[in-house]
């Protein structure tokens, strides 16, 4: 099974640019073209937050047009730049999106189960999962204990060493670790937010952050460094699940480049 992860696309309405004068739409177009060119085709695409830059309805309308050529089914998660209401208004025909509240949902159609958690906090930059979300996740995993599972978040639950981004990571990561620790079928935690390809083990679970197809955050590991944006080659993650070895198989993660 092949899962493509695209993150931090930061789309704006046509004619607008994000800070720094970057036009993010061409980068997403190149990314969609690169995903469509994969052979074999991915089974599903997960977009793990910061879909748009300002959370306006016209941003989401532009995003929808840019995603229209994508051949694989797409699942959307919000990040701190997103707003749930306009997102759901524009993509309201996607049956998996809840009518209100956090946009947590499960992709249950494939051998590898995908659990998508909404870590966004309205009006804030950091991420958090409230008690209700954690209880939902615990039940969700407990109801399918024999199914290999991958969890998607926008905000990473671990520090990366990039101080400016670590300040806005998932706040209650220990609570998430406690839940996931009860469910050994969770093979991987996949995140966004940091605009860099990063891999680690977090509480014994393989975890990754996908790069952005548009722009990168500078790799600056100084404790007091201010965040800086770079135009590195755009990229996305390709997660490949293999059924062996048992009992839940294994996930291999590749970086695929879509820009120069």
What is the tens place of the pLDDT at every residue in 7-22? 999 999 998 999 888 9
pTM exceeding 0.85:
yes
Q: Could you check whether the bond before residue 245 is cis, i.e. omega within 30 degrees of 0?
A: yes
The residue-averaged pLDDT of 92-120 equals 94
**H helix intervals, 37-117:** 57-67, 84-90
Share of the chain above pLDDT 70, in %: 100
What is the tens place of the pLDDT at every residue in 212-224? 999 999 999 999 8
Residue length of the chain: 260
pLDDT beyond 90 at 176: yes
What is the tens place of the pLDDT at every residue in 62-77? 999 999 999 999 999 9
Torsion sign (Cα): 139, 186, 112, 148: negative
What is the tens place of the pLDDT at every residue in 13-48? 998 999 888 999 999 999 999 999 999 999 999 999
User: What is the four-CA torsion angle of 125, 151, 135, 97, rounded to 10 degrees?
Assistant: 70
**Topology at the third CATH level for domain 2-257:** Purple Acid Phosphatase; chain A, domain 2 (3.60.21)
pLDDT beyond 90 at 121: yes
Mean pLDDT, all residues of the chain: 96
- Report CA-CA distances (Å) from 8 to 81, 158, 180, 192, 224: 9, 18, 25, 7, 24
What are the sequence ranges of the domains in the chain?
2-257
| Predicted pLDDT of residue 143 | 96
The residue-averaged pLDDT of 108-134 equals 97
pLDDT beyond 80 at 246: yes
């Amino acid at each position: 099974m092949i899962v493509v992860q695209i993150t931090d696309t930061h789309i704006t309405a046509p004619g607008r640019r994000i800070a720094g004068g970057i036009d993010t739409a061409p980068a997403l177009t190149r990314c969609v073209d690169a995903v469509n060119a994969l052979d074999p085709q991915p089974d599903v695409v997960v977009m793990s937050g910061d879909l748009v830059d300002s959370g306006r309805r016209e941003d989401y309308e532009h995003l929808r047009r840019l995603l229209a050529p994508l051949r694989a089914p797409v699942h959307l998660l919000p990040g701190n730049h997103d707003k749930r209401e306009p997102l759901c208004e524009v993509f309201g025909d996607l049956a998996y999106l809840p009518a209100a509240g956090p946009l947590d949902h499960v992709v249950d159609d494939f051998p590898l189960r995908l659990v998508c958690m909404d870590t966004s906090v309205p009006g804030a930059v950091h991420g958090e999962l409230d008690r209700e979300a954690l209880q939902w996740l615990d039940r969700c995993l407990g109801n399918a204990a024999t199914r290999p599972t991958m969890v998607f978040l926008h905000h990473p639950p671990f520090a990366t060493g990039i101080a400016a981004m670590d300040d806005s990571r998932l706040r209650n990561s220990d609570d998430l670790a406690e839940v996931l620790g009860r469910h050994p079928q969770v093979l991987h935690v996949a995140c966004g937010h940091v605009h860099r390809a990063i891999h680690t083990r977090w509480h014994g679970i393989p975890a990754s952050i996908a790069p952005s197809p548009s722009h990168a955050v500078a790799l600056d590991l100084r404790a007091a460094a201010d965040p800086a944006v770079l135009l590195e080659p755009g990229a996305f993650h390709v997660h490949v699940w293999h059924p062996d070895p048992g009992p839940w198989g294994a996930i291999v993660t590749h970086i695929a480049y879509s820009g120069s």
